[in-house]
Structure 1
Amino acid sequence: MIKMSDFQEMVNIIDRSSVNIFTFEYEGMKIKLEKQPILQDKVQKEEVGVSVSDPLLSNEQTDKAAKDEAVSKEEVITSPMVGTFYTRANEGEERLVQVGDTVQKGQVVCIVEAMKLFNEVQADVDGEIVELLVGDGEVVEYGQPLFKLKKRS
């Protein structure tokens, strides 16, 4: 049987490669991974308020947007995989974290269910949860921001 960690590693390798479509068959199970090169740079620049189609954008504005983007990347917890986002480990239990909670690096902050496997997502840095970016039960994409953090210094 294939381990989830092996599957995650395979997805990461494919994500970093130039392969756009990958099909994997194992013990009667077939998985097709397909990267969709959707102008990721355009989406990221629009998230920080930079219009990609604006030819009059100054270098100063571009540099500021790039710095803002770098800061925002450091202050978010992202999904390690495609799946369904949950704020609770089990139905009826309290949320793992809420806005205002202080978290430590390695602390479990949510669950992402993928292929009937419940995967714990951990904080990458110490900080305070300032915003929940996804609703409970929503489908999330690989790399999608889940929480905004205010980093502790």
Structure 2
Amino acid sequence: MDLQLVAQLINMVTTSSLASLEIEENGTRIKLENGGGIVPAVRTENVSVPAPVVNVPVEVHTAQAVAVSDQTEEAEEPKEEFYEVKAPMVGIFYSLGSMNRPELKEGDEIKKGSIVCAIEAMKLINEVECDVDGTFVELLAKDGDQVEYGQPLVRIRRN
């Protein structure tokens, strides 16, 4: 994949309101996500020599670029013991207790679809659901914290 094209894509994502962009060409897939830190590129089986490092000026946000081989996606990963509920948006974190609901305590059973916290964005409260059955372990954010998209909020032990 042409490095100039990659640099243009990074610039496009960082200067737009896009949350992410994913492109595949000749078995190499590039996924760009707006926000977060810098993630090193992963070498795929299709690449025979390391790609040169390209410095791309980024103004406000940094984009994450990861190249992934198709074969890596198909391999099944073992289930991890813990699952982290991640922020679906940017906003202010609120625990259940701050919303006048029973506070989650360590050892509480959580069902898939249960509300575990909320995020306030643009004066709207958005409830965040858990995607797995499990046991509550801990909150990873505090009431009033500014959270970013994809930031872990709640840790659940899988059942």
TM-score range, shorter chain: 0.5 to 0.7
1:89-100 equivalent positions in 2, closer than 5 A: 91=99, 93-100=100-107
Amino acid paired to 1:22:
S
Deviation digits for residues 118-139 of structure 1, max 9, x if unmatched? 0010001000111111111111
In structure 1, C-alpha distance between the alignment counterparts of 2:120 and 2:138, rounded to whole Å: 21
CA contact (8 A) 2:93 2:142 kept: yes
Q: How many residues align?
A: 99
Identity %: 39
Q: 1:77 to 1:23 in 2, by over 3 A?
A: closer
Give the aligned partner of residue 149 of structure 1: 156
Give the aligned partner of residue 71 of structure 1: 80
CA contact (8 A) 1:21 1:35 kept: no
Q: 1:19 to 1:85 in 2, by over 3 A?
A: same
1:1-153 equivalent positions in 2, closer than 5 A: 19-22=13-16, 35-36=34-35, 38-40=37-39, 71=80, 75-88=83-96, 91=99, 93-152=100-159
Give the drift of 1:77: 0.5
Give the aligned partner of residue 48 of structure 2: none
Deviation digits for residues 37-82 of structure 1, max 9, x if unmatched? 621359xxxxxxxxxxxxxxxxxxxxxxxx79x737x611111010
TM-score relative to the length of structure 2: 0.52
* Structure having the larger proportion of residues in strand: 2
* Structure having the larger proportion of residues in helix: 1
4+ runs deviating over 6 angstroms? none
Deviation digits for residues 9-31 of structure 1, max 9, x if unmatched? xxxxxxxxx6222259xxxxxxx
CA contact (8 A) 1:75 1:149 kept: yes
Q: 1:87 to 1:103 in 2, by over 3 A?
A: same
Q: Which runs of 5+ in 2 are unaligned?
A: 1-11, 19-32, 42-76
CA contact (8 A) 1:85 1:138 kept: yes
In structure 2, C-alpha distance between the alignment counterparts of 1:78 and 1:114, rounded to whole Å: 15
Amino acid paired to 1:82:
V
DSSP 3-state at the match of 1:19:
helix
Q: 1:79 to 1:37 in 2, by over 3 A?
A: closer
